[in-house]
Structure 1
Amino acid sequence: MKAILTGHTRGLGAAIAGELLGRHIPVLGLARRRNADLAQRFPVGLEQVELDLADTGSLEDWLAGDTLATFLAGSPSVVLINNAGVVQPVGPLGAQDILSIARAVALNVAAPLMLSRAVTAASPAAHDWRILHVSSGAARNAYPGWSVYCATKAALDHHARAVALDKVPGLRICSLAPGVIDTDMQTEIRSTPMENFPLRERFEAMKRDGALTSPEDCARRLVDYLLDARFGEMPVADLRDFAS
């Protein structure tokens, strides 16, 4: 098995990469910068590509090359984890920056969909493909100030539902909400002005009450589920519904 993981440099992505590598699963990490800590901890098994996934043209050019196919060559089982994403722009419609909207849609939606297609095409030797979109409760519940984030995460959920209906032999897909995790994104949310995100106090309370999951614990449970025979039975799921 080999894994492609986006956003592997910090937070949940870094923890997922460490969990996979710790289980001797080679990882190709795609992000704007390299993860020096992971490279030091895992001198074998980790390949890194510096790529701005919000730049659709750059991603298209990279996919036209042979790096992905070379990494996946000969592997009978392939995993793609679409983890990279942004919560910005946050705020009511009139306050949203136009370029931030475009960047969010490119990173949160276009990149996962492009990579999902590319991975299946680049690995003809595989008979087991597993695609995991890191979704959110915001995909299934609307929140004030998060119209772009909610919409982009909901797009991943519906993509997984539709791909599952295609019934491609050997392909399993799930858009998985991982729960609320103690990452830089949560810090960003708690620093958002109340007028842009009226529910900020809810997230402040979760941090204060110790209700946030650590990236490492979430990554362990996420990888357990990803590798489980049940993966893909439901195209949309919540990690909190499965035993730890």
Structure 2
Amino acid sequence: MPSTNPNEDKVGITSKDATVVTEKPDASTTWQSGQEQKTSTTGLGIERKQFLTLFVLSLSLAIIVLDATIVIVALKQISVDFQISLKDLEWITSLYALVFGTFLLTWGKLGDEFGRKRIFMAGISLFVIGSIVDGQSADLTQMLVGRVIQGFGAAMASPATLAILTTTFTGKARNVAFGIWGATAGAAAVLGPLLGGYFTSSPTFTWRWAFYINLPIGAVALIGALLAIKETRFKDPNYSTDYGGLALITLGLSAL
């Protein structure tokens, strides 16, 4: 006979100070939740929809790392085309690293405040623009301008990938995501010289493709970011950003 007690289908945990009441799940609810968990997660513990986010972040970090190593192999052809000395040639790699390292901490903090997705997408956009400038450059000056833009964009995007990764994944899924993210960066560092050698030795391509390769990858990353990444930021009313300190850190890093 059905019970008339409305609280009979609830489980109550009562203490001296409070009572926590939760609904008893019926058979259909339990089956539906099991099906959702089964279809929305993978064996790695990552939700299927989160894989696009992980793919975008890993791909973006990959082109940043790739760009630091692929250019090394292309330097010889660049020196021949531009007729520049080894001393001047070193600025192509050094300037990118200098700008990247100088602004890395600054943009990491500003991303927390103004929105990580926003800073990430702006950084990838700048990186792509810098790649276009480098690929189209006719002399060393134009190339160095492109390298500065690339380094600045990389400094914006790189810390944002880490922050978005941390806020998107939790528990076991976060460990797996960090592993894939880091492994992708390592693979890109190894792949860079191989691609650089292929572009410079192939009759079809030239050293300029060491920069053009960033364009389709950057476009995929931007589209994926629009579709998959949610905006997050760190806001604490009891905390204010020390912009003077950020400026001093930036100046200090540039002097190292």
Q: Is the TM-score greater than 0.5?
A: no
Normalised by the length of structure 2, the TM-score is 0.26
Q: Which has the higher helix share?
A: 2
Q: Over alpha carbons, which structure has the higher Rg?
A: 2
